[in-house]
Amino acid sequence: MSAKSNYLEDAVLDHVLGTSALTSPTVYISLYTSNPNEDDSGTEVSGSGYARISASFNAASSGTATGPTVAKEFTASGGAWGTVTHFGLHDASTLGNLLYYGALTASKTIADGDTLRFDADSISVTEA
């Protein structure tokens, strides 16, 4: 399950109503230790080898798109990340804009050397 960010809500409205163009970005999966909320106010993981990972998604069908198309892994290196509770989908590898976000099925405490894995098609993005 996912929710749309304030940024994406505005961008889609502007695009559909003809006030600006919307381009397809490279999508990056991000990890959070707190809910990012619509305004991206959560705490994104940082340090200890953390970096957003680019991912491709399948074309939407009946209002839902799934991805990543292949499994993606995040591994802590040189320190712990704490308890990861949420993921985000961003339009840049650093900074950029949050597009969608959601809670993990189960929170996971990541110690040095631990890996958090997203299996293929394990993220569903739904437009209601």
Q: Average of pLDDT values for 17-25? A: 94
Which pLDDT belongs to residue 2? Answer: 75
Report residue 12: phi and psi, to 5°.
-65, -45
For 72-99, the pLDDT digits (tens) are 999 999 999 999 999 999 999 999 999 9
pTM above 0.75, yes or no: yes
For 23-60, the pLDDT digits (tens) are 999 999 999 999 999 999 999 999 999 999 999 999 99
Residue 123 one-letter amino acid: I
Q: Let me know how long the chain is.
A: 128
Tokens of 112: 């040095």
Q: Is the pLDDT of residue 1 over 60?
A: no
Rounded CA-CA distance 87/67 in Å is: 13
DSSP conformation class of 106: E
